[in-house]
Amino acid sequence: MSQPSPSADDSRLRTGLGKLMGQVSVIATIPTNYKPLLGVACVGEAETWIYGNNKTITRTDIHGTVRDTVTTPCLQFPGGISVNKGRELIYSDHDRGTLKIVRHGKFETLITAPWGWTPWKLCCTCSGDILVHMYKGTGPQTKNKIIRYQGQTITQKINKDRQGSPIFNDGTYPLNMSENNNGDVCVSDANADTVVVVNKPGRVRFRYDGTQARPKKAFGHRGIVTDALSQIIVADCNNNCLHILDQNGQFLRCVDYCVLEKPYGLSIDCEGKLWVGSERGDIKVIKYLD
């Protein structure tokens, strides 16, 4: 897989907030007891919530010390996790069709999914909204959409383009999502093997299929996150790398030289460090911005 050299058109990486480093560095590798590790959600500058295929959600710090453990009432395991502006943990219970918030060690139902739909992945935005992937049905014909909530009120449904065609493919993979600084919703749609970016009104701005990175294997995108520079970062578990795009879908760089194995979940802490959760159970904390 190729990538631009640090000197290649470096000006396009510069912003008023910083720039991509010529060579990223792994500043911590954190082992966990989750195999697979299904998601990470940073809290502050040196801790993250993590979960896997059991009922517990654990908060660990950058040194690997467990700071807290929450045992959810999920029948199997949470569908997704996120942290709101108040640093409160929110998770989806797809068996009961709800989103719950953890407050003072207790679980409160925050959102109940529309009848017939099941919540899966979620994302708390900087504005305080919550984006939720909802699915309906089973097997290859499973329908997928994203619903935006303000509190318990639905304010937007993202599922069809201006021609009335579905934005997201049918299928059983979850939609991972992140809201960018300009209000774009960036979605990793593994059912379509593409990243789909829609603007505030819900219209498709562009799609990214990974070919610009010249991958050796099929684009196996999973987690997605956006950063302070409005860059879009996508985990590619098939090629053991990260794709970095600008907010307009221009491919900037592929990070494939820091011993990533099956990267899956992504989160960025308040200092701009990237936390990469591996399906195999560890977390790498990466410094990638100057």
Over range 59-66, report the average pLDDT.
97
pLDDT more than 70, % of the chain: 94
223 occurs within a structural domain: yes
- pLDDT score, position 164: 92
Neighbouring residues of 94: CB distance < 8 A, sequence distance ≥ 6: 79, 118, 119, 120
pLDDT of 3 over the 80 cut: no
Q: Which residue in 201, 196, 200, 168 sits closest to 184, CA to CA?
A: 200
pLDDT in tens, 214-250: 888 888 889 999 999 999 999 999 999 999 999 999 9
Q: Provide the 8-state DSSP code for 184.
A: P
23 occurs within a structural domain: yes
The tally of domains found in the chain comes to 1
57 occurs within a structural domain: yes
259 occurs within a structural domain: yes
Structural contact between residues 245 and 251, judged by C-beta atoms closer than 8 angstroms: yes
4 occurs within a structural domain: no
Q: How far apart are CA 64 and CA 49, in angstroms?
A: 12
Over range 259-268, report the average pLDDT.
92
Over range 28-36, report the average pLDDT.
95
Structural contact between residues 290 and 276, judged by C-beta atoms closer than 8 angstroms: no
11 occurs within a structural domain: no
For residue 235, what are the domain limits? 16-289
- pLDDT score, position 5: 34
Token pair of 92, please?
């989806």
pTM beyond 0.85, yes or no: yes
Whichever domain contains 119, its CATH number is 2.120.10.30
pLDDT in tens, 91-134: 999 999 999 999 988 999 999 999 999 999 999 999 899 999 99
8 occurs within a structural domain: no
- pLDDT score, position 230: 96
pLDDT of 80 over the 80 cut: yes
Helix (H) or strand (E) holding 31, with range, is strand 20-31
C-alpha dihedral, 155 to 95 to 80 to 169, nearest 10°: -70
pLDDT in tens, 220-229: 889 999 999 9
211 occurs within a structural domain: yes
- pLDDT score, position 17: 53
Question: Helices H, strands E: what count in the chain?
Answer: 0, 24
Q: Which residue in 213, 210, 159, 176 sits closest to 81, CA to CA?
A: 176
- pLDDT averaged over every residue in the chain: 91
